[in-house]
Structure formats: C-alpha cells, structure tokens
Amino acid sequence: MTRSIVLLLSLSLFVPSALALRKPAAAKSDAEPAWMADLARRHEELINRNGPGTDTELRDRLLAMLDRDQEARGVKDGQPKNKEKLEIATNLAEIDAGLTTELKEIVAKQGWPTIALVGIKASNGAMYILTHSADHAWQLSLLPQLEQLADAGKIDGSTLALVIDKELVSEGKLQRYGSQFKFVDGAMAMYGVEDPGTLDARRAKVFLPPMAVYKQMLSDMYHLKATDKIVSAAAPAN
C-alpha cells in the first residue's frame, strides 16, 4: 500500500503572503497578475490597519519561537536551507511539543496574539506553531475564536486556513481551502474540498493564491508533481 503523508509543513514554506509573492518591478510588458495585485493590496491594508504591534517583548519571543519551528523543518528566513531536500530535525515531535506548551502559556495569559498586539509576522508565527501542534483538542477549542478574529481582520486568514483544513482532513471531512495534499505513487494528490467550483474565491478571501499557483509552488518545493487527482480523507477510527 502506498504510504500517505499529509503535507503539514509551515505555510511559510509554500504559501507566502501575497506581498511575498510579488516580484521586484519588472518591465511594463511583464504585467503583474490581477489576482496577485488584489491580494497584495488587501493584505497590505490588513497590516496597515492593525499596525506593527504594541507588545515588543512578546513579539520578539514569538519570532524566536518561529525561528525554532522553522529551523526544525529545514527552513531559514522563509527558504529551505538545503535546496535539494528538506532537512527535518530528528527530534521534531519534541520541538513541537515544547513550542506548543510555550504557546499555550502565552494564550492563557494574554489571549491569542493578534496583529495589533505583536505585528503580522509574529501573529502568523503563532499560527504556524499551532498548525504543527499534536494537541488536536486544543486546536479545535481555539478554532471558533480564531475564525472570529480572522473575520474581524485581526489576524491573517491565510495562516488559519491550514489549521482549519488540517482538522477537517483529520476528521475525514472535505477540506475548505485545498491546502492539504498527500504523497501517493510518487506524486501529490489533493484531499477533496468543499464546493470545488468556488475554491479559488474562498482562497482569495483569506489571502491565498489560486489553486494552480499553489500546486506549482508545491511542485517546486517538494520536487514532485502536484497532480489534479482528488483523494478522500480516511474517516477516523472509532
């Protein structure tokens, strides 16, 4: 049986913000795609509306935690340290558990780190750490609050999308944003999604690129083809 591997590495590996996707100014003939310009504009408005963050001590703490999370996944400054293959720490589960404990302490004391509190990068960093947590019960307990914060424009919806999809897939349900793939027969296949016809519209709402762009990013990252094949999430065992 082909081994299935859910691709749950940090969003910073393959779903950068719309701003990060933008290339330096090019020739006039090399026009920026409309979707990219729209996402970048709205993402920049989100950042400007919330500001750089008021709690610099917590911001720096979260950024240090994010660095540990990314280093353990073979990433430095948002890029793979080894271009040929991802170098994952052998004690990854232990690192994630420690970061989960630390994030729990922060949330219990100060609430979820919003953009207004710690800035966009640190706020997203908290979400990356939540994504990698093995404590699914804790993730589920936070989802209603996090969805409210995203709807209110207080956190970046692109980072939350992965958490939502991860939980839906773990429950054997259709994912919402198409972020979850599994490795099958030497290629990557997407888990089924809710209402495929409106997938790109849902992705755009939370600052994610179109599905075709996302698949190309996955292929470039993992050196494997992201196919159009759709697979079902296995229902959880009773």
Altogether, the residues listed in the chain come to a count of: 238
Q: Take residue 119 and report the two structure tokens written for it.
A: 């800035």
Q: 59: buried, middle or exposed (CB in 10 Å: 19+, 13-18, 0-12)?
A: buried
Pairing of strands 79-80, 75-76: antiparallel
Q: Take residue 195 and report the two structure tokens written for it.
A: 């209402």
Helices then strands, counting H and E runs in the chain, come out as 11, 5
pLDDT above 60 (res 6) = no
Cα 18 from Cα 36, distance rounded (Å): 6
Q: Take residue 203 and report the two structure tokens written for it.
A: 């992705």
The domain spans of the chain are: 11-20+33-231
Residue with tokens 């994630």, as numbered in its chain: 96
The tens digit of pLDDT for each residue in 161-176 reads 988 998 899 889 999 9
Angle between helices 92-110 and 120-132 in degrees, nearest 10: 130
pTM comes to 0.81
Cα 124 from Cα 82, distance rounded (Å): 24
The tens digit of pLDDT for each residue in 51-109 reads 999 999 999 999 999 999 989 988 877 667 776 666 888 999 999 999 999 999 999 99
